[in-house]
Amino acid sequence: MKKIIPYGKHFIDNKDIKSVIKNLKSGSITQGPAIEKFENKIKKIVNSKYAVAVSSCTAGMHISLIACGFKKDNTLLTSPITFVSTANVSKFCGGKVSFADIDPNDLNISLDEIKKKIKHRKIDAIIPVHFAGKSFNTKKLKKIINKKTIIIEDAAHAMGAKYEDGTMVGSCKYSHATVFSFHPVKTIACGEGGVVTTNDKKIYKDLLRLRSHGINKLDDNFLINKQAFTKKIRNPWYYEMRHLGFHYRMTEIQASLGISQLSKLNKFIKKRTIIAKKYFSFIKDNDDVLNFNIAQKVNYDDSSNHLFIIKLDLKKIKKTRAEIMRQLLKKKIQTQVHYIPIPMHPYYKSEKKIYVSDFKNAKTYYESCLSIPIFYGLTKQQQNYVLDNLKKVIN
């Protein structure tokens, strides 16, 4: 291999490039019609009533918490195996963070562990993570929690994924909101960016304001009519700040790329599924001679297959994970670890009563996991090369 095979990568074709160029030539590169068009496409795909484009998935989770009524000193419960932003958004609101261990089979937060947690602590919001694109069972979660508990789905990995009943992640059938990411390694790419879907009109209206400094110029009725109108005609300069909001807007450039990328969503998901199934078959067929196994046991047809993760038997291999990663990189194969458990980070280690040792499944998973290449542009030749070298290096 002359070029490095990354663990994840975006795919851009001429249609994507033409879409962005067209937008650049249009004269409207922010707060224009492409945003609404992109949002409409998203809500149609996932079957939600509303969609609000934002600058990142993190931004989306942050303002979703606020829009749902999460307040200072409230407590958020989430998985220890996720990127730090899932927990951080509670801190942005002045809230507290609690964790529940993962299910060792699908690597999502465990429903049994959530039950234990809510018995002993008041939980105001839960952000389940659809880890690696495998949907979490939000329907069952809804049945076991207090009706007042906020549910926001972290679907950063899960654009195009389905629940077990066949409905799309993002439909918000059992949650207040769902948040997606369009970072370059995700299912579709906007460069950066995210979107929040919801079925609640009040949440939707609050999200519109919160993403833009607390101002909604689209369809808000004014509160101070004396300032807003002259002789019953709206003053053309007038707008109102309702909340303390943020600058979390997506640009037209990003949205124009996203619109083009969405037209390839089914194609992207189909290819990722083929790659995941090939990895699965190879590992299953060679189970007796390999020193690694499948980390996440899922139905690949329902998942967006954002990541494919193997579990290393480091005792048999007699190499460290770092050595394995370096040896694979010499072969031009990039691997990654998803993720360092949040309680292990210095910021969270300083908090009282949060210890990674309390989350045995998360700790065991972290100590042996390795994400291997999966992305739309991965060729059969490249995947065979990855498998051959995994076998050589690890065995």
Same domain flag for 254 and 296: no
Per the domain annotation, does 8 fall within a domain? no
Q: For residues 386 and 392, what is the distance between their CA atoms, to the nearest angstrom?
A: 10
Tens digits of residue pLDDT in 97-119: 999 999 999 999 999 999 999 99
- In 3D space, the residue among 384, 395, 283, 390 whose CA is nearest the CA of residue 329 turns out to be 390
Per the domain annotation, does 9 fall within a domain? no
Same domain flag for 144 and 290: no
pLDDT at 219: 87
Per the domain annotation, does 339 fall within a domain? yes
Same domain flag for 296 and 182: no
Per the domain annotation, does 2 fall within a domain? no
Look up the domain containing 319 and give its range: 266-394
300 CB contacts (<8 Å, ≥6 apart)? 273, 276, 277, 280
Same domain flag for 183 and 216: yes
Tens digits of residue pLDDT in 131-149: 999 999 999 999 999 999 9
What letter would DSSP give residue 50?
E
Number of structural domains the chain divides into: 2
Per the domain annotation, does 5 fall within a domain? no
CATH code of the domain containing 248:
3.40.640.10
Q: Are strands 125-127 and 75-78 parallel, antiparallel or unpaired?
A: parallel
DSSP secondary structure string for all residues of 300-335: TTTS----EEEEE-HHHH-S-HHHHHHHHHHTTB--
Q: Are strands 292-294 and 369-372 parallel, antiparallel or unpaired?
A: unpaired
How many Å is the maximal CA-CA distance in the chain? 83
pLDDT at 352: 78
Per the domain annotation, does 354 fall within a domain? yes
Tens digits of residue pLDDT in 67-83: 999 999 999 999 999 99
pLDDT at 367: 98
pLDDT band at 125 (very low <50, low <70, confident <90, very high): very high
pLDDT at 233: 96
Q: Please report how many Cα atoms fall inside a 13 Å half-sphere around the Cα of residue 94, on the Cβ side.
A: 6
pLDDT band at 236 (very low <50, low <70, confident <90, very high): very high
- Among the candidates 264, 289, 309, a domain finishes at 264
Same domain flag for 146 and 287: no
Tens digits of residue pLDDT in 208-226: 999 999 999 888 999 999 9
Same domain flag for 200 and 334: no
Per the domain annotation, does 214 fall within a domain? yes
pLDDT at 240: 96
Q: For residues 320 and 372, what is the distance between their CA atoms, to the nearest angstrom?
A: 16
- Among the candidates 264, 281, 300, a domain finishes at 264
Sign of CA dihedral 161, 166, 168, 171: negative
pLDDT at 312: 98
Tens digits of residue pLDDT in 351-386: 878 889 999 999 999 999 999 999 999 999 999 999
Q: For residues 314 and 56, what is the distance between their CA atoms, to the nearest angstrom?
A: 36
Unique residue bearing structure tokens 């979107």 = 195
Same domain flag for 111 and 41: yes
Same domain flag for 332 and 193: no
**Region for 94 from its dihedrals, namely left if φ exceeds 0, alpha if ψ lies in -120 to 50, beta otherwise:** left
Same domain flag for 155 and 218: yes
- Among the candidates 246, 264, 282, a domain finishes at 264
- Written as six digits, the tokens of 355 are 């210890």
